[in-house]
Structure 1
């Protein structure tokens, strides 16, 4: 069967790995690894799986986890910036952290806060922590988010990165059935080039893409 990459729409896609639940394929152009759509959960199944998560606004471990994205992002932002927490989930702790530093943060989540008006505004920054690995059409959704950014704005992403073929087979990240896209350093370099973005790896799983203003919006 021939597959198309959900990030770059390229059709030169190679088989990468198979476990007992599903297969994984890699794009020859952008290097993203993805799970074909026939293995995706239904929206109801996906929602039910997310409901099993126990993150809360008072969870100190969750706060420490999100701070690995929040801390460098706060260092990079101008005072009183406008932002969007895309895929914030039922406990938008990251938005609370950023708002506590004086920034205005809108919320959007497909299942928990489906306020589409938030996707029609423009922002100085957009954060998506542990979100893009869940997207069935990451190319389309990232392009839409990029259009919502003002010039000089920051798209801050948090996702675990593929390291090697050998480590992929034993990687805990692929055990989550809602994880269907897997990015690497190579993939983000490709994406930054396509967007005309300034790329920064703020942590091992924290990626910043700045809209430089050189390229048209």
Structure 2
């Protein structure tokens, strides 16, 4: 039975065996993905997340988050017709410690956390946001098209989705040795083309790459 690419649904998949795991590389969109039978359990994923150092007390991590914020705010300021400060922000995949949410709130933003494992209650179904930020989360998506659709559902018309994830094009060596693959909870690795396709499947227009690993999408109005 052939496997569909989770990004573009093509069945033109090249298999890659790495350390007892099997990945696919789509020959159409260029994305890489872990075959579903090798997905980590929810418990193993939680154990891995809780080893991350995501505290704002760490100056390096705080600077990392601030650089992400500055990158998308700079885009908003320079892109014609956009407001420099989004009125409301949803932090999608905020983690065990919602540091990005907290940093945004410190700077006066109306920001809210959401995380499948740690903050699983989404805002009321009637609530929509001007911006959703998704930093170092999309690589954990077991079903990227479904997750992008869920995020799009919580955006206002013409709202923005900012995704931070390291692209497959950034590999300086072969996939098996790529550092980003070594995290057991990383299962989806996007090319720019696969990001554009996944976004389009959720009625999100790909606005482009705005930083080293930051991408912006806009919901159709």
TM-score per shorter chain, which class?
0.7 to 0.9
| 1:122 match | 128
Matched, 1:187 2:197: no
Q: Which moved more, 1:130-139 or 1:189-198?
A: 189-198
State the secondary structure of the residue aligned to 2:184.
coil
Cα offsets for 1:140-193 (capped at 9, x unmatched): 010111121112211011100012594323210011111000001222233344
| 1:203 match | 211
Structure 2: runs of 5+ lacking an equivalent: 77-82
Alpha carbons of structure 1 residues 120 and 144: separation in structure 2 relative to 1, 3 Å: farther
| 1:171 match | 178
- Paired with 2:11 and 2:5, the residues of 1 have a C-alpha distance of 8
Q: Which moved more, 1:152-161 or 1:117-126?
A: 117-126
Post-superposition offset of 1:198: 4.1
- Paired with 2:17 and 2:126, the residues of 1 have a C-alpha distance of 39
| 2:90 match | 84
- Paired with 1:78 and 1:124, the residues of 2 have a C-alpha distance of 12
How many residue pairs align between the two structures?
212
**2:146 corresponds to which of 120, 128, 140:** 140
The TM-score normalised by the length of structure 1 is 0.87
- Paired with 1:212 and 1:114, the residues of 2 have a C-alpha distance of 26
- Paired with 1:113 and 1:68, the residues of 2 have a C-alpha distance of 24
| 1:3 match | 3
